[in-house]
Chain A
Amino acid sequence: MVKLSAFDIEQDSTLWTSFRSGNQQALADLFLAQYDKLYRYGFRLYSDEDVIKDCIQELFLKLWHKRQSLGEVREVTPYLCQALRRTIVDSLREKSGRFRLWTPGDEERLEVTFSHEDFLISQQIDDEQRRRLTAALNQLTKRQREAVHLRYFENFEPGEIARIMNLSDQSVYNLLYRSVQALRDNFFLLLLIGANN
């Protein structure tokens, strides 16, 4: 698992400070440094390339516009992921004339789903296992799926996941714990039985 070093975090937050003060080079550096992570996160929530590309554009334009009122941010990536999520929700909202209409179901439209292709390059498992693993992952609750995705696909630390999902560190641990338990029930025990026979 690749961990973000303290140095990376330090660099990100220096870049952020420079961005806030209106430095356009910092805007470009920040954009390039964060783009892949943001795109992967957004695309997993809503798999439409054009929508996610536009949302990232909108997010950076918005941040640049109000840079003077932005606060200090220690962990930039989780902050941006959370902001991107809101931007995606907004862009999916029904529009009524110039203004958006709020519907409580908006948040629900964003969810992580897994596909068996995600595991295609893994040498560890065969087709049947891949199919079952994907099915088991997709049986997790919506929030469990998001936590699993952030932890095991995007390699975020639990503390960062807490920031992205707006949860406490303990809730993130609980989510992941219950996900692993559920995975064992749905997939792993079956697999063991299958292997022993």
Chain B
Amino acid sequence: MPYNHYHVSEFVLDDSFQAYVLCTDPEAVAFWTNWLARHPHKENEIQEATELVRLLAGPKRTQPLPDKEAELRRLIEQLPVNNSSYEPSPVRYPIFAGWQRGTFAVAAMLAVLFLAGGGWFLTQQLSHPGQTVLKTDFGQKRNFFLPDGSEVTLNANSTLRYQPDWPEGEIRQVWLEGEAFFHVAKRQVAGKPIKFTVRAGELAIEVLGTQFNVLNRAERTQVVLEEGKVRLRSTENSQLLLDMTPGEAVVYSQRNGLVSRQQTDTQLHDAWRDNRLVFDNTPLAEVAEIIEHTYGKTVTFGDANLMSRRLTGTIPSDDLTRLTKALSRAFDLQITERGDELLIEAH
């Protein structure tokens, strides 16, 4: 629109006119001074527009702002351990034949070098110095081989740490946050079996060679034994808690120290490895928790009653879209994804 058809509000909103009023652009000042001289009948409107621009765009009180350096330090303290500094290659390691002992040691050294680049995240480094960290993101699942040849499948949003060098004959030890399925290789030195220990929260899970699933999230550690034999200890005082037999599930609550033990269908607990979720009379609140941990979404319920609804069945969990589609169809729910959020409502 040509300027001579402008009225007060249009002038106010015009960038060039604002620059003239606030004297931020000499070209605009020259242009409008000249323009005004040629359009004297617009003077009243221009005067009003000028006042408005001065009021609106003029100086304002400045807010006191927080100390952002302090806020940055606070942020860094909350960052997950060693995140991303070591991203294992997504390539599946060739089983045993091509696998070399040195692989992880080299990767760990690179990780340390990389970390040393920026001094300010030293705090994180100090908490687990020199450890090798295997990590999966939300919605991601990966297979790894440990230095002793044991195989680990790490579920989404999980971390496994260990000392990179595992001397022959010494105890093998890993730390787990999240969920993993272990297939531990049997090791012997001079006829003596070498223990393998998974430390998860306040539980130490000791094994000689076996297959089992460990879930350690939200102050709750669950161990499901597929085959072999497992001994559970408290990490605090090494006190023996119990010996597990195949087909058993043990849940240890960090909040109250309670241990529950029951027979279970082990497939329920490791179906995630085949991209399935199996529910057996499972409350929807628990399903929501799985979704939050696996995909990093915040689940919101449209109605509190929904949380106690129970589901039984198997649904695919390859990706979130398939999962929510299957969930909503099978259980007659309406699930809406909005950014980081998943809203679950009754249909």
Contact = CB atoms under 8 A, between A and B. Distances in A.
Contacts of B299: 99-100
A25 B299 CA distance: 31
Contacts of B10: 177
Interface string B26-60: 00000000000000000000001001101111111
Given A96-B304, A98-B289, A102-B301, A32 B72 contact: yes
Interface in A169-193: 173, 176-177, 180-181, 183-184, 188, 191-192
B185 to A, nearest CB: 31
B51 A28 contact: no
A127 to B, nearest CB: 14
A40 B87 contact: no
A124 B9 contact: no
A83 B22 CA distance: 32
A192 B44 CA distance: 11
A28 B71 CA distance: 10
A180 B71 contact: no
B307 A173 contact: no
B12 interface: yes
Contacts of B18: 1
Contacts of A64: 79, 83
Interface in B54-105: 54-61, 63, 65-66, 68-69, 71-72, 74-76, 78-80, 83-85, 87
B235 to A, nearest CB: 26
Contact of B296 (A65, A97, A101, A152): A65
B8 interface: yes
B75 A61 contact: yes
Contact of A57 (B24, B78, B300, B301): B78
A188 B83 contact: no
Nearest to A195: B51
Q: Which applies to chain A's interface (DSSP): helix, strand, loop or mixed? A: helix
Contacts of B339: 83, 86
Given A39-B66, A124-B58, A61 B285 contact: no
B121 interface: yes
A120 B56 contact: no
Interface string A132-158: 010000000000000010011100000
B19 interface: yes
Contacts, number: 151
Given A56-B71, A102-B302, A22 B84 contact: yes
A152 B56 contact: yes
Given A39-B66, A93-B300, A173-B13, 15 more contacts: A22-B84, A22-B85, A35-B72, A53-B71, A60-B75, A62-B340, A96-B307, A101-B302, A101-B304, A119-B58, A123-B59, A125-B55, A177-B13, A180-B52, A183-B52
Interface of A: 1, 22, 24-25, 28, 31-32, 35-36, 39-40, 43, 49, 53, 56-57, 60-62, 64-69, 83, 86, 90, 93, 96-102, 117-125, 133, 148, 151-153, 173, 176-177, 180-181, 183-184, 188, 191-192
Interface of B: 8-10, 12-13, 15, 18-19, 22, 24, 48, 51-52, 54-61, 63, 65-66, 68-69, 71-72, 74-76, 78-80, 83-85, 87, 117-118, 120-121, 137-139, 285, 288-289, 296, 298-302, 304, 307, 339-341, 343
24 contacts: A1-B57, A22-B83, A22-B85, A24-B118, A31-B72, A32-B68, A39-B66, A66-B137, A86-B339, A90-B298, A97-B307, A98-B289, A100-B298, A100-B300, A118-B60, A119-B61, A121-B61, A133-B55, A152-B57, A177-B9, A180-B12, A180-B52, A180-B56, A184-B9
The 8 closest A-B pairs by CB, nearest first: A22-B84, A35-B68, A180-B9, A152-B56, A100-B300, A25-B118, A102-B300, A180-B12
